Amino acid sequence: KQEVTQIPAALSVPEGENLVLNCSFTDSAIYNLQWFRQDPGKGLTSLLLIQSSQREQTSGRLNASLDKSSGRSTLYIAASQPGDSATYLCAVIIGNEKLTFGTGTRLTIIP
Amino acid sequence: DTGVSQDPRHKITKRGQNVTFRCDPISEHNRLYWYRQTLGQGPEFLTYFQNEAQLEKSRLLSDRFSAERPKGSFSTLEIQRTEQGDSAMYLCASSSNMALGAFFGQGTRLTVV
């Protein structure tokens, strides 16, 4: 059974700092991996999708990397802003079917 | 807005009542997923459809839960005889191809009192 872990569960950093969020998964036979953002009481907003054959994807200040062999992905946020405060979830997609989620990292950017 | 739409956004119900939620996927997305999320946890898979066919159901989906997608477009999730443990955010997602990922709606927050 695929298990997805995100550490730390919560993170607070001063505005302007660069930061890295971590995601690990137990079964490397993933189809792809997707990072989401969730604001309190809201749904999920897709940030980045990395295909299993890719090593990284970039969108603006966000960069996600994938190392299938070690079962890890990271989400790098450059020059953090208070608006980046949210919960960040990673999900692996198995067999072109469904997503399995981690428990998320709650990020707070301190102005 | 052509994103995934869920209705209602919030539902408060008394224990023992039945509730039904609706999800309208992105147009022409043939896959539709239901997830449940409790406070502080990641979303947990409940069930998914490809067109009108329900292809997989989680063991989380007790016999009080039923989902339909009658014409391969919108979907409904019904919970019968609600219990306080059913209180959660119910999320719907759709996809045309999981190589392109899934897209979520804003969710329906259920509170059972």
Look at residue B66 in the predicted model and tell me its pLDDT.
Answer: 96
Instruction: For A91, list phi and psi in degrees, rounded to 5.
Output: -140, 135
Give the list of residues 6+ apart from residue B50 with CB closer than 8 angstroms, or none: B30, B31
The string of DSSP letters for B14-26 reads -TT--EEEEEEPS
Residues of A in contact with B91 (CB under 8 A): 43-44
Q: Is A39 on the interface with B (CB under 8 A)?
A: no
Q: Is B16 exposed, middle or buried (0-12, 13-18, 19+ CB in 10 A)?
A: exposed
Look at residue B61 in the predicted model and tell me its pLDDT.
Answer: 84
- Closest approach of B20 to chain A, Cα-based (Å): 18
Q: How far apart are CA B46 and CA B48, in angstroms?
A: 7
Look at residue B99 in the predicted model and tell me its pLDDT.
Answer: 85
Q: pLDDT tens digits for A43-98?
A: 999 999 999 899 999 999 999 999 999 999 999 999 999 999 999 999 999 876 88
Which 3 state secondary structure label does DSSP give B92?
strand
* Section B62-81 average pLDDT: 95
